[in-house]
Structure 1
Amino acid sequence: MSANLLSLEGVHTHIGAYHILHGVDLAVPRGQLTMLLGRNGAGKTTTLRTIMGLWHASQGRVRFGERDITALHTPQIAELGIAYVPENMGIFSDLTVRENMLLAARGASNAAQMDEARLKWIFELFPAVQKFWDHPAGKLSGGQKQMLAVSRAIVEPRELLIVDEPSKGLAPAIINNMIEAFDALKKSGVTILLVEQNIHFAQRLGDTVAVMDNGRVVHSGSMAAFSADEELQRSLLGLAL
Protein backbone atom coordinates (compact mmCIF):
# COMPACT_ATOMS: atom_id res chain seq x y z
CA MET A 1 0.00 0.00 0.00
CA SER A 2 1.34 3.42 -0.97
CA ALA A 3 2.22 5.83 1.84
CA ASN A 4 0.37 8.50 -0.13
CA LEU A 5 -3.40 8.25 -0.42
CA LEU A 6 -3.51 10.96 -3.11
CA SER A 7 -0.85 12.07 -5.55
CA LEU A 8 -0.67 14.45 -8.50
CA GLU A 9 2.10 13.98 -11.04
CA GLY A 10 2.87 16.75 -13.53
CA VAL A 11 -0.73 17.95 -13.67
CA HIS A 12 -1.62 20.71 -16.12
CA THR A 13 -5.12 22.18 -16.25
CA HIS A 14 -6.54 24.51 -18.89
CA ILE A 15 -9.78 26.42 -18.40
CA GLY A 16 -10.79 27.63 -21.83
CA ALA A 17 -7.84 29.52 -23.25
CA TYR A 18 -6.20 29.88 -19.82
CA HIS A 19 -3.40 27.60 -18.67
CA ILE A 20 -3.88 27.53 -14.87
CA LEU A 21 -1.85 24.59 -13.54
CA HIS A 22 1.67 24.18 -14.91
CA GLY A 23 2.82 20.72 -13.83
CA VAL A 24 1.58 20.27 -10.26
CA ASP A 25 3.31 17.57 -8.20
CA LEU A 26 1.52 16.98 -4.90
CA ALA A 27 1.53 14.14 -2.37
CA VAL A 28 -1.06 13.73 0.40
CA PRO A 29 0.19 11.15 2.94
CA ARG A 30 -2.31 8.60 4.17
CA GLY A 31 -3.79 9.43 7.60
CA GLN A 32 -2.32 12.94 7.75
CA LEU A 33 -3.59 16.47 7.26
CA THR A 34 -1.92 18.29 4.38
CA MET A 35 -2.14 22.06 4.09
CA LEU A 36 -2.12 23.61 0.62
CA LEU A 37 -0.98 27.21 0.95
CA GLY A 38 -0.21 30.03 -1.46
CA ARG A 39 -1.03 33.56 -2.49
CA ASN A 40 -4.40 34.35 -4.11
CA GLY A 41 -4.44 33.13 -7.69
CA ALA A 42 -1.68 30.55 -7.15
CA GLY A 43 -3.90 27.70 -8.39
CA LYS A 44 -5.02 26.09 -5.12
CA THR A 45 -8.76 25.91 -5.87
CA THR A 46 -8.09 24.79 -9.44
CA THR A 47 -5.98 21.96 -8.00
CA LEU A 48 -8.86 20.82 -5.79
CA ARG A 49 -11.37 21.03 -8.61
CA THR A 50 -9.04 19.05 -10.87
CA ILE A 51 -8.70 16.31 -8.25
CA MET A 52 -12.50 16.10 -8.07
CA GLY A 53 -12.95 15.95 -11.84
CA LEU A 54 -14.85 19.24 -11.99
CA TRP A 55 -12.10 20.31 -14.38
CA HIS A 56 -10.02 17.69 -16.15
CA ALA A 57 -6.25 17.66 -16.33
CA SER A 58 -4.97 18.29 -19.83
CA GLN A 59 -1.71 16.56 -18.94
CA GLY A 60 -0.34 14.52 -16.04
CA ARG A 61 -1.91 12.04 -13.63
CA VAL A 62 -4.09 12.12 -10.50
CA ARG A 63 -3.91 8.96 -8.41
CA PHE A 64 -6.04 7.88 -5.47
CA GLY A 65 -4.19 5.05 -3.78
CA GLU A 66 -3.07 2.86 -6.66
CA ARG A 67 -5.90 3.96 -8.97
CA ASP A 68 -5.58 6.51 -11.77
CA ILE A 69 -8.61 8.81 -11.43
CA THR A 70 -7.48 11.48 -13.91
CA ALA A 71 -10.23 10.84 -16.46
CA LEU A 72 -13.03 9.92 -14.03
CA HIS A 73 -16.11 12.09 -13.65
CA THR A 74 -17.00 13.71 -10.33
CA PRO A 75 -19.69 11.19 -9.25
CA GLN A 76 -17.28 8.31 -9.90
CA ILE A 77 -14.58 10.03 -7.83
CA ALA A 78 -17.01 10.65 -4.96
CA GLU A 79 -17.99 6.97 -4.98
CA LEU A 80 -14.37 6.02 -4.25
CA GLY A 81 -14.64 7.65 -0.81
CA ILE A 82 -13.57 11.24 -1.53
CA ALA A 83 -15.62 14.16 -0.21
CA TYR A 84 -15.20 17.79 -1.28
CA VAL A 85 -16.33 20.94 0.50
CA PRO A 86 -15.97 23.89 -1.91
CA GLU A 87 -15.23 27.44 -0.83
CA ASN A 88 -18.88 28.44 -1.37
CA MET A 89 -19.95 25.42 0.76
CA GLY A 90 -22.66 24.33 -1.72
CA ILE A 91 -25.47 24.46 0.84
CA PHE A 92 -29.06 24.09 -0.41
CA SER A 93 -30.53 27.17 1.27
CA ASP A 94 -34.22 26.29 0.81
CA LEU A 95 -33.80 22.85 2.37
CA THR A 96 -33.54 22.13 6.09
CA VAL A 97 -30.33 21.02 7.72
CA ARG A 98 -31.80 17.51 7.93
CA GLU A 99 -32.68 17.51 4.21
CA ASN A 100 -29.17 18.72 3.30
CA MET A 101 -27.68 15.86 5.31
CA LEU A 102 -30.08 13.31 3.82
CA LEU A 103 -29.09 14.27 0.29
CA ALA A 104 -25.48 13.35 1.11
CA ALA A 105 -26.42 10.09 2.85
CA ARG A 106 -26.85 8.10 -0.31
CA GLY A 107 -27.63 4.89 1.52
CA ALA A 108 -30.71 6.38 3.19
CA SER A 109 -34.06 7.31 1.65
CA ASN A 110 -35.30 9.08 4.79
CA ALA A 111 -33.80 10.52 7.97
CA ALA A 112 -34.71 7.45 10.02
CA GLN A 113 -32.42 5.33 7.82
CA MET A 114 -29.35 7.50 8.43
CA ASP A 115 -26.60 5.94 10.54
CA GLU A 116 -27.61 6.92 14.08
CA ALA A 117 -24.17 6.32 15.61
CA ARG A 118 -22.49 8.39 12.90
CA LEU A 119 -24.99 11.23 13.33
CA LYS A 120 -24.32 11.22 17.08
CA TRP A 121 -20.58 11.52 16.37
CA ILE A 122 -21.21 14.41 13.96
CA PHE A 123 -23.44 16.17 16.50
CA GLU A 124 -20.60 15.91 19.03
CA LEU A 125 -18.24 17.55 16.53
CA PHE A 126 -20.77 20.19 15.46
CA PRO A 127 -23.58 20.70 18.04
CA ALA A 128 -25.14 23.44 15.87
CA VAL A 129 -26.07 20.83 13.25
CA GLN A 130 -28.27 19.05 15.79
CA LYS A 131 -29.61 22.29 17.26
CA PHE A 132 -30.81 23.58 13.88
CA TRP A 133 -31.76 20.17 12.45
CA ASP A 134 -35.19 21.28 11.21
CA HIS A 135 -34.28 24.88 10.34
CA PRO A 136 -33.80 26.12 6.76
CA ALA A 137 -30.10 25.97 5.96
CA GLY A 138 -30.24 29.42 4.40
CA LYS A 139 -31.06 30.93 7.79
CA LEU A 140 -27.85 29.66 9.40
CA SER A 141 -24.86 31.90 10.16
CA GLY A 142 -21.71 31.58 8.07
CA GLY A 143 -20.03 29.44 10.71
CA GLN A 144 -23.06 27.18 11.04
CA LYS A 145 -23.24 26.74 7.27
CA GLN A 146 -19.58 25.71 7.24
CA MET A 147 -20.26 23.18 9.99
CA LEU A 148 -23.16 21.81 7.95
CA ALA A 149 -21.02 21.62 4.81
CA VAL A 150 -18.35 19.57 6.57
CA SER A 151 -20.97 17.43 8.35
CA ARG A 152 -22.63 16.67 5.04
CA ALA A 153 -19.28 15.62 3.57
CA ILE A 154 -18.67 13.10 6.37
CA VAL A 155 -22.22 11.80 6.88
CA GLU A 156 -20.93 8.65 5.19
CA PRO A 157 -17.43 7.26 5.91
CA ARG A 158 -14.78 8.85 3.69
CA GLU A 159 -11.15 8.03 3.12
CA LEU A 160 -10.25 11.51 1.94
CA LEU A 161 -11.78 14.87 2.83
CA ILE A 162 -10.90 17.89 0.67
CA VAL A 163 -11.90 21.32 2.00
CA ASP A 164 -11.39 24.75 0.44
CA GLU A 165 -10.81 27.55 3.00
CA PRO A 166 -12.99 26.27 5.89
CA SER A 167 -12.18 29.20 8.18
CA LYS A 168 -12.87 32.00 5.68
CA GLY A 169 -15.00 34.74 7.25
CA LEU A 170 -15.51 32.87 10.54
CA ALA A 171 -15.25 34.31 14.03
CA PRO A 172 -12.25 33.18 16.15
CA ALA A 173 -14.43 31.04 18.46
CA ILE A 174 -15.92 29.20 15.46
CA ILE A 175 -12.45 28.74 13.97
CA ASN A 176 -11.27 27.09 17.20
CA ASN A 177 -14.28 24.76 17.07
CA MET A 178 -13.46 23.91 13.47
CA ILE A 179 -9.83 23.18 14.39
CA GLU A 180 -10.95 20.78 17.11
CA ALA A 181 -13.35 19.05 14.70
CA PHE A 182 -10.72 18.56 11.99
CA ASP A 183 -8.28 17.26 14.60
CA ALA A 184 -10.90 14.72 15.71
CA LEU A 185 -11.53 13.73 12.08
CA LYS A 186 -7.81 13.18 11.51
CA LYS A 187 -7.55 11.05 14.66
CA SER A 188 -10.46 8.94 13.37
CA GLY A 189 -8.32 7.96 10.38
CA VAL A 190 -9.59 10.38 7.72
CA THR A 191 -6.91 11.78 5.40
CA ILE A 192 -7.47 15.52 4.87
CA LEU A 193 -6.34 18.06 2.28
CA LEU A 194 -7.07 21.68 3.24
CA VAL A 195 -6.64 24.94 1.39
CA GLU A 196 -6.36 27.59 4.07
CA GLN A 197 -5.40 31.25 4.43
CA ASN A 198 -5.63 31.38 8.24
CA ILE A 199 -2.05 30.77 9.37
CA HIS A 200 -3.05 29.88 12.95
CA PHE A 201 -5.38 27.25 11.51
CA ALA A 202 -2.60 25.85 9.32
CA GLN A 203 -0.02 25.68 12.09
CA ARG A 204 -2.38 24.03 14.57
CA LEU A 205 -3.54 21.28 12.23
CA GLY A 206 -1.01 20.67 9.49
CA ASP A 207 1.23 17.61 9.42
CA THR A 208 2.59 18.35 5.97
CA VAL A 209 2.46 21.45 3.80
CA ALA A 210 2.64 22.23 0.10
CA VAL A 211 3.00 25.82 -1.12
CA MET A 212 1.80 26.83 -4.57
CA ASP A 213 2.85 29.74 -6.74
CA ASN A 214 1.95 30.44 -10.37
CA GLY A 215 0.27 27.09 -10.91
CA ARG A 216 3.05 24.93 -9.45
CA VAL A 217 3.97 23.44 -6.07
CA VAL A 218 7.16 25.30 -5.16
CA HIS A 219 7.71 23.79 -1.71
CA SER A 220 6.60 20.71 0.19
CA GLY A 221 7.61 19.24 3.52
CA SER A 222 6.64 19.08 7.17
CA MET A 223 4.44 21.84 8.60
CA ALA A 224 6.63 22.05 11.71
CA ALA A 225 9.78 22.73 9.68
CA PHE A 226 7.98 25.29 7.51
CA SER A 227 6.58 27.07 10.59
CA ALA A 228 10.08 27.37 12.03
CA ASP A 229 11.61 28.94 8.88
CA GLU A 230 10.52 32.58 8.67
CA GLU A 231 12.82 33.35 5.73
CA LEU A 232 11.23 30.56 3.69
CA GLN A 233 7.74 31.75 4.66
CA ARG A 234 8.50 35.29 3.50
CA SER A 235 9.97 34.12 0.21
CA LEU A 236 7.02 31.87 -0.61
CA LEU A 237 4.05 33.66 0.96
CA GLY A 238 5.27 37.24 1.31
CA LEU A 239 4.79 37.08 5.09
CA ALA A 240 6.00 35.26 8.18
CA LEU A 241 3.64 32.95 10.05
Structure 2
Amino acid sequence: MSSSNDDLLTLNGVHTHIGAYHILHGVDLAVPRGELTMLLGRNGAGKTTLLRTIMGLWRASQGSVRFAGQDITPLATPQIARLNIAYVPENMGIFADLTVQENLLLAARSARHAAQMDEARLQWIFQLFPAVEKFWRHPAGKLSGGQKQMLAVARAIVEPRDLLIVDEPSKGLAPAIIDNMIDAFAQLKRGGATLLLVEQNLDFARRLGDGVAVMDNGRVVHAGRMAALAQDAALQQSLLGLSL
Protein backbone atom coordinates (compact mmCIF):
# COMPACT_ATOMS: atom_id res chain seq x y z
CA MET A 1 0.00 0.00 0.00
CA SER A 2 1.37 3.42 -0.89
CA SER A 3 1.29 5.99 1.89
CA SER A 4 1.27 9.75 1.57
CA ASN A 5 3.03 12.36 3.70
CA ASP A 6 -0.46 13.40 4.78
CA ASP A 7 -1.00 10.03 6.50
CA LEU A 8 -0.26 10.19 10.22
CA LEU A 9 -0.71 6.43 10.73
CA THR A 10 -0.13 3.67 8.19
CA LEU A 11 -0.33 -0.10 8.45
CA ASN A 12 1.26 -2.23 5.76
CA GLY A 13 0.63 -5.98 5.52
CA VAL A 14 -0.04 -6.38 9.25
CA HIS A 15 -0.64 -9.91 10.54
CA THR A 16 -1.47 -10.62 14.19
CA HIS A 17 -1.59 -14.01 15.89
CA ILE A 18 -3.11 -14.49 19.34
CA GLY A 19 -1.96 -17.86 20.57
CA ALA A 20 -2.88 -20.37 17.90
CA TYR A 21 -5.33 -17.97 16.22
CA HIS A 22 -4.40 -15.94 13.15
CA ILE A 23 -6.63 -12.85 13.55
CA LEU A 24 -5.28 -10.18 11.18
CA HIS A 25 -4.39 -11.27 7.64
CA GLY A 26 -2.28 -8.57 6.00
CA VAL A 27 -4.08 -5.37 6.99
CA ASP A 28 -3.36 -2.21 4.99
CA LEU A 29 -4.73 1.02 6.44
CA ALA A 30 -3.98 4.74 6.13
CA VAL A 31 -5.24 7.34 8.62
CA PRO A 32 -4.80 10.84 7.13
CA ARG A 33 -3.58 13.64 9.38
CA GLY A 34 -6.36 15.89 10.69
CA GLU A 35 -9.19 13.57 9.61
CA LEU A 36 -11.57 11.25 11.40
CA THR A 37 -11.32 7.73 10.00
CA MET A 38 -14.08 5.24 10.77
CA LEU A 39 -13.27 1.53 11.06
CA LEU A 40 -16.40 -0.52 10.41
CA GLY A 41 -17.15 -4.22 10.14
CA ARG A 42 -19.20 -7.04 11.51
CA ASN A 43 -18.51 -8.45 14.99
CA GLY A 44 -15.41 -10.63 14.91
CA ALA A 45 -13.94 -8.91 11.83
CA GLY A 46 -10.74 -8.02 13.71
CA LYS A 47 -11.34 -4.33 14.49
CA THR A 48 -10.42 -4.44 18.19
CA THR A 49 -7.41 -6.65 17.46
CA LEU A 50 -6.26 -4.04 14.95
CA LEU A 51 -6.46 -1.24 17.54
CA ARG A 52 -4.63 -3.34 20.13
CA THR A 53 -1.94 -4.15 17.57
CA ILE A 54 -1.45 -0.44 16.78
CA MET A 55 -1.00 0.20 20.52
CA GLY A 56 1.46 -2.68 20.96
CA LEU A 57 -0.85 -4.54 23.35
CA TRP A 58 -0.64 -7.39 20.86
CA ARG A 59 2.44 -7.71 18.69
CA ALA A 60 2.20 -7.77 14.91
CA SER A 61 3.72 -11.05 13.71
CA GLN A 62 4.35 -9.58 10.25
CA GLY A 63 4.10 -6.19 8.54
CA SER A 64 4.64 -2.70 9.91
CA VAL A 65 2.83 0.04 11.82
CA ARG A 66 4.18 3.56 11.20
CA PHE A 67 3.22 6.72 13.08
CA ALA A 68 4.42 10.16 11.92
CA GLY A 69 7.00 8.42 9.75
CA GLN A 70 8.39 6.27 12.60
CA ASP A 71 8.16 2.47 12.66
CA ILE A 72 6.39 1.78 15.98
CA THR A 73 5.86 -1.95 15.37
CA PRO A 74 8.55 -3.08 17.86
CA LEU A 75 7.74 -0.51 20.57
CA ALA A 76 6.16 -1.32 23.93
CA THR A 77 2.74 0.17 24.71
CA PRO A 78 4.06 2.89 27.11
CA GLN A 79 6.52 4.05 24.42
CA ILE A 80 3.71 4.23 21.87
CA ALA A 81 1.51 6.22 24.28
CA ARG A 82 4.37 8.66 24.89
CA LEU A 83 4.35 9.50 21.17
CA ASN A 84 1.13 11.38 22.01
CA ILE A 85 -1.34 8.66 21.08
CA ALA A 86 -4.38 8.13 23.32
CA TYR A 87 -6.41 4.91 23.27
CA VAL A 88 -9.88 4.36 24.73
CA PRO A 89 -10.56 0.59 24.83
CA GLU A 90 -14.04 -0.86 24.53
CA ASN A 91 -14.10 -1.66 28.27
CA MET A 92 -13.10 1.99 28.95
CA GLY A 93 -10.41 1.08 31.52
CA ILE A 94 -11.86 3.37 34.21
CA PHE A 95 -10.29 3.17 37.69
CA ALA A 96 -13.51 2.56 39.62
CA ASP A 97 -12.16 3.28 43.12
CA LEU A 98 -10.63 6.62 42.12
CA THR A 99 -12.64 9.80 41.76
CA VAL A 100 -13.41 11.32 38.37
CA GLN A 101 -10.81 14.00 39.14
CA GLU A 102 -8.16 11.38 40.01
CA ASN A 103 -8.87 9.47 36.78
CA LEU A 104 -8.20 12.63 34.76
CA LEU A 105 -5.14 13.56 36.81
CA LEU A 106 -3.57 10.16 36.10
CA ALA A 107 -3.84 10.88 32.36
CA ALA A 108 -2.52 14.46 32.62
CA ARG A 109 1.17 13.70 32.28
CA SER A 110 2.24 17.32 32.73
CA ALA A 111 0.46 17.64 36.10
CA ARG A 112 1.51 16.15 39.43
CA HIS A 113 -1.56 17.37 41.30
CA ALA A 114 -4.98 18.74 40.36
CA ALA A 115 -3.99 22.42 40.62
CA GLN A 116 -1.47 21.90 37.80
CA MET A 117 -4.03 20.63 35.30
CA ASP A 118 -4.78 22.92 32.36
CA GLU A 119 -7.79 24.89 33.65
CA ALA A 120 -8.90 26.13 30.22
CA ARG A 121 -8.83 22.60 28.83
CA LEU A 122 -10.75 21.28 31.84
CA GLN A 123 -13.45 23.92 31.31
CA TRP A 124 -13.68 22.85 27.66
CA ILE A 125 -14.07 19.20 28.74
CA PHE A 126 -16.75 20.19 31.28
CA GLN A 127 -18.62 21.99 28.48
CA LEU A 128 -18.41 18.87 26.27
CA PHE A 129 -19.28 16.44 29.09
CA PRO A 130 -21.12 18.19 31.96
CA ALA A 131 -21.29 14.91 33.92
CA VAL A 132 -17.50 14.99 34.33
CA GLU A 133 -17.79 18.26 36.27
CA LYS A 134 -20.95 17.24 38.11
CA PHE A 135 -19.34 14.05 39.49
CA TRP A 136 -15.83 15.50 39.82
CA ARG A 137 -15.25 14.20 43.37
CA HIS A 138 -17.33 11.03 43.09
CA PRO A 139 -15.85 7.53 42.69
CA ALA A 140 -15.80 6.75 38.97
CA GLY A 141 -17.27 3.30 39.66
CA LYS A 142 -20.56 4.95 40.69
CA LEU A 143 -21.11 6.53 37.26
CA SER A 144 -23.59 5.18 34.73
CA GLY A 145 -22.32 3.45 31.60
CA GLY A 146 -22.76 6.59 29.50
CA GLN A 147 -21.02 8.75 32.11
CA LYS A 148 -18.10 6.30 32.25
CA GLN A 149 -17.78 6.51 28.46
CA MET A 150 -17.67 10.31 28.71
CA LEU A 151 -15.00 10.04 31.42
CA ALA A 152 -12.95 7.62 29.31
CA VAL A 153 -12.92 10.05 26.38
CA ALA A 154 -12.32 13.05 28.67
CA ARG A 155 -9.33 11.26 30.15
CA ALA A 156 -7.92 10.61 26.67
CA ILE A 157 -8.20 14.30 25.72
CA VAL A 158 -7.22 15.92 29.04
CA GLU A 159 -4.07 16.94 27.19
CA PRO A 160 -3.85 17.55 23.42
CA ARG A 161 -3.11 14.31 21.55
CA ASP A 162 -1.85 13.87 18.02
CA LEU A 163 -3.90 10.70 17.53
CA LEU A 164 -6.99 9.53 19.41
CA ILE A 165 -8.06 5.90 18.97
CA VAL A 166 -11.47 4.95 20.38
CA ASP A 167 -13.14 1.53 20.33
CA GLU A 168 -16.95 1.80 19.97
CA PRO A 169 -17.56 5.20 21.60
CA SER A 170 -21.35 5.08 21.11
CA LYS A 171 -21.89 1.53 22.42
CA GLY A 172 -24.82 1.39 24.82
CA LEU A 173 -25.29 5.16 24.92
CA ALA A 174 -28.62 7.00 24.93
CA PRO A 175 -29.28 9.14 21.82
CA ALA A 176 -28.73 12.43 23.72
CA ILE A 177 -25.34 11.26 24.95
CA ILE A 178 -24.44 10.08 21.42
CA ASP A 179 -25.13 13.64 20.21
CA ASN A 180 -22.78 14.90 22.95
CA MET A 181 -20.10 12.47 21.85
CA ILE A 182 -20.47 13.46 18.19
CA ASP A 183 -20.10 17.14 19.14
CA ALA A 184 -16.98 16.35 21.20
CA PHE A 185 -15.28 14.45 18.35
CA ALA A 186 -16.26 17.15 15.84
CA GLN A 187 -14.65 19.81 18.06
CA LEU A 188 -11.50 17.71 18.43
CA LYS A 189 -11.31 17.33 14.66
CA ARG A 190 -11.74 21.07 14.13
CA GLY A 191 -8.88 21.57 16.60
CA GLY A 192 -6.57 19.56 14.33
CA ALA A 193 -6.66 16.15 16.04
CA THR A 194 -6.49 12.93 14.03
CA LEU A 195 -8.99 10.28 15.08
CA LEU A 196 -9.50 6.56 14.41
CA LEU A 197 -12.84 5.23 15.66
CA VAL A 198 -14.24 1.72 15.62
CA GLU A 199 -18.01 1.99 15.43
CA GLN A 200 -21.09 -0.19 14.97
CA ASN A 201 -23.56 2.70 14.84
CA LEU A 202 -23.70 3.61 11.16
CA ASP A 203 -25.56 6.87 11.73
CA PHE A 204 -22.79 7.95 14.15
CA ALA A 205 -20.20 6.97 11.52
CA ARG A 206 -22.00 8.85 8.75
CA ARG A 207 -22.30 12.05 10.79
CA LEU A 208 -18.61 12.16 11.77
CA GLY A 209 -16.46 10.18 9.38
CA ASP A 210 -14.20 11.69 6.73
CA GLY A 211 -12.66 8.41 5.61
CA VAL A 212 -13.82 4.86 6.19
CA ALA A 213 -12.25 1.42 6.18
CA VAL A 214 -14.36 -1.73 6.38
CA MET A 215 -12.91 -4.94 7.80
CA ASP A 216 -13.97 -8.52 7.21
CA ASN A 217 -12.19 -11.72 8.28
CA GLY A 218 -9.09 -9.90 9.46
CA ARG A 219 -8.58 -7.78 6.33
CA VAL A 220 -9.55 -4.30 5.14
CA VAL A 221 -11.94 -5.07 2.28
CA HIS A 222 -12.96 -1.51 1.47
CA ALA A 223 -11.40 1.93 2.00
CA GLY A 224 -12.71 5.25 0.78
CA ARG A 225 -14.70 8.33 1.77
CA MET A 226 -17.44 7.95 4.36
CA ALA A 227 -19.84 10.14 2.36
CA ALA A 228 -19.59 7.84 -0.65
CA LEU A 229 -20.34 4.73 1.43
CA ALA A 230 -23.23 6.54 3.16
CA GLN A 231 -24.86 7.16 -0.24
CA ASP A 232 -24.37 3.63 -1.62
CA ALA A 233 -26.96 1.30 -0.10
CA ALA A 234 -25.85 -1.67 -2.20
CA LEU A 235 -22.25 -1.30 -1.03
CA GLN A 236 -23.36 -1.03 2.60
CA GLN A 237 -25.40 -4.20 2.21
CA SER A 238 -22.56 -6.15 0.61
CA LEU A 239 -19.90 -4.96 3.08
CA LEU A 240 -21.87 -4.82 6.32
CA GLY A 241 -25.12 -6.66 5.72
CA LEU A 242 -27.07 -3.57 6.74
CA SER A 243 -27.80 -0.06 5.55
CA LEU A 244 -27.69 3.51 6.75
Return the TM-score normalized by structure 2: 0.97
RMSD of equivalent CA atoms = 0.8
1:89-117: CA deviation from partner (whole Å, max 9, x where unpaired): 00001110001001111221110111111
Match of 2:183 among 160, 180, 190: 180
Query: 1:35 pairs with 34, 38, 63, which one?
Result: 38
3-state SS of paired residue (2:29): strand
Are positions 1:159 and 2:162 aligned together? yes
Structure 1 residue 121: Cα displacement: 1.4
What's the counterpart of residue 96 of structure 1? Answer: 99
Q: CA deviation at 1:209?
A: 0.3
Give the whole-Å Cα distance in 2 for the aligned partners of 1:94 and 1:88: 16
In 2, distance between residues paired with 1:156 and 1:173? 25
Q: Which residue of 2 aligns with 1:51?
A: 54
Q: Which residue of 2 aligns with 1:117?
A: 120
Which letter maps to 1:32?
A: E
Unaligned runs of 5+ in 2: none
Q: Secondary structure of 1:25's partner?
A: strand
Q: 2:203 aligns with which of 200, 205, 213?
A: 200
Partner of 1:146: 149
Q: How far off its partner does 1:12 sit?
A: 0.1
* Structure 1 alignment gaps of length 5 or more: none
- Distance across 2 between alignment mates of 1:61 and 1:75: 18
**Offset of 1:125 from its aligned partner?**
1.2
1-structure distance, mates of 2:24, 2:167: 17
Q: Tell me the SS of whatever aligns to 1:72.
A: coil
Distance 1:112 1:138 in 2: 23
What do the CA deviations read for 1:40-60 (whole angstroms, capped 9, x no partner)? 000000000000000010000
**Residue-by-residue CA offset, 1:175-219 (whole Å, 9 max, x unaligned):** 111111111111111100000001110000000000000000000
Code of the aligned partner of 1:37: L
Distance in 2, matches of 1:97 and 1:91, equals 9
Letter in 1 for 2:111: A
Displacement after TM superposition at 1:122 (Å): 1.1
Is the aligned partner of 1:222 residue 2:220? no
**Structure 1 residue aligned with 2:174:** 171
Shift of the alpha carbon at 1:223? Answer: 0.3
Letter of the aligned partner of 2:93 in structure 1? G
Distance 1:31 1:109 in 2: 30
Who is 1:189 aligned against?
Answer: 192
TM-score between both structures, scaled by the size of structure 1:
0.99
Residue identity opposite 1:24 in structure 2:
V
Code of the aligned partner of 1:27? A
Of 158-167 and 114-123, more deviation after overlay is shown by 114-123
Q: Return the alpha-carbon distance in structure 2 between the equivalents of residues 86 and 162 of structure 1.
A: 8
The ranges of structure 1 where at least 4 consecutive aligned residues each deviate by more than 2 angstroms after the TM superposition are none
Match of 1:126 in 2: 129
